[in-house]
Amino acid sequence: MAQAHGRAGGIHLAVLDVYPAPTRELIRRRLPPEWTCAFAEGYEDEQQHAVLGDADVAFANWYGVDARALAAARRLRLIHKLGAGVDKIDHDACRSHGVRLARIAGGNATPVAEHTIMLMLAALRRLPEIEARSRAGEWFKEEARVLQRQLSGRRVGLVGMGAIGQAVARRLAGFEVEIVYHDPVRLGPDRERELAATYLELDDLLRTADIVSLHLPLLPATRGLLGAERIRDLKDGAVVVNCARGGLVDEDALAEALRSGKVLAAGLDTFREEPPVGSPLLSLPNTALTAHVAGATFDNFGHMVDRAVANTGAFLRGEGIPPGDLVL
């Protein structure tokens, strides 16, 4: 049964993702006192539909909202994603049911940027393998010297230069790297100077970067962006980092390139299927893998809830949601 917090009149919120007690309490503390809310107890249809039935507003994070869920929502007016990516929410179904959709553009830029650089370093230094062997009592400094590479002196190619790409660029400033980038919308010259970033066409970036880091949404135009042909064209010994969406990358082609040494290492937080059961990437020693947690810090989640509440309040008062956050 869904857990409810109050149930008087007024605005009723459905929280569609399954959160532990500390996160539920964080959400409760940030809601206006006149709101009530119910938390989903699982991701099965009946569990989701139970909390959506009487909801005016829904907060979603990992849960994918489809047409069946929207059909069960009798009063729903707004879905607010507690994050930036909205590819798991059925846009056509939202339109047909008259439900608006909002997100938090750039809301997780700081934790994702930090995680991206962590994965760059972890992949270059072969951290998972080094740590596992160190915990097992091995002492192998000279072998480790052959395995490991440093970040300093590398050309880092950022594919996508929105809020997260720019946050990564700013944090790379102290690592003595060259930053190149590609984005469908080129930055202005002042911003390029601020970030010390040089624009390149995509294929030129992929051919010349020592590290390729992806920061794009998953759209029809970007699905499979780093496919087999482009992976073959990467610089020999390149490192691939993906904290964006797994569908941007051909995982089978990447796994083959990692086995052959064409790609030195990969740091991945997102996968084609999640969880990535049976993925060929799981067993490779030259991968640093995390479970789509780049944006999942407790302190930043509080900021995202605050922004979602503010946007929702503005929507309910008829004031409108800021254009960057309003999707539909």
Q: What is the pLDDT of residue 64?
A: 86
Report how far residue 163's alpha carbon sits from residue 106's, in angstroms, rounded to the nearest whole number.
Answer: 5
Same fold yes or no, 3-107+296-316 and 109-289: yes
Which CATH fold would you assign to the domain 3-107+296-316?
Answer: Rossmann fold (3.40.50)
Catalytic status, residue 303: no
* Residue of 274, 303, 307, 319 with catalytic role: 274
Nearest to 166 by CA among 148, 185, 138: 185
**Domain boundaries, given as residue ranges, for the chain:** 3-107+296-316, 109-289
Report how far residue 157's alpha carbon sits from residue 137's, in angstroms, rounded to the nearest whole number.
Answer: 36
Nearest to 117 by CA among 73, 71, 175, 65: 175
The pLDDT tens digits of the residues spanning 184-194 come to 999 999 999 99
Q: What angle do CA 16, 18, 19 make, to 5 degrees?
A: 120
* Residue of 292, 303, 317, 319 with catalytic role: 292
**pLDDT band at residue 7 using 50, 70 and 90 as cut-offs:** very low
Report how far residue 301's alpha carbon sits from residue 295's, in angstroms, rounded to the nearest whole number.
Answer: 8
The pLDDT tens digits of the residues spanning 141-173 come to 999 999 999 999 999 999 999 999 999 999 999
| pLDDT at residue 62 greater than cutoff 90 | no
Report how far residue 175's alpha carbon sits from residue 154's, in angstroms, rounded to the nearest whole number.
Answer: 9
Q: In the beta sheet, which residues pair with residue 275? A: none
Q: What is the pLDDT of residue 238?
A: 99
**pLDDT band at residue 10 using 50, 70 and 90 as cut-offs:** confident
Nearest to 84 by CA among 185, 182, 160, 23: 160
| pLDDT at residue 5 greater than cutoff 50 | no
Cα atoms in the 13 Å half-sphere on the side-chain side of 159: 28
Share of the chain above pLDDT 70, in %: 97
Average pLDDT for 306-319 = 96
Cα atoms in the 13 Å half-sphere on the side-chain side of 194: 9
The sheet that has 100-102: what strands, in order across it?
3-5, 36-39, 12-15, 57-60, 78-81, 100-102
Q: Residue 128, preceding bond cis, omega within 30 degrees?
A: no
Q: What is the pLDDT of residue 139?
A: 95
Residue type, 128: P
Catalytic status, residue 133: no
Average pLDDT for 274-282 = 95
Which residues 6+ apart lie within 8 Å of 284 measured at CB? 255, 258, 259
| pLDDT at residue 1 greater than cutoff 60 | no
Count of other CB atoms within 10 angstroms of residue 76: 24
Output the CATH code of domain 109-289: 3.40.50.720
Higher pLDDT, 214 or 106: 214
Catalytic status, residue 68: no
* Residue of 126, 149, 230, 245 with catalytic role: 245
Q: In the beta sheet, which residues pair with residue 155? A: 178
Average pLDDT for 13-30 = 97
Report how far residue 91's alpha carbon sits from residue 79's, in angstroms, rounded to the nearest whole number.
Answer: 11
Q: What is the pLDDT of residue 4?
A: 42
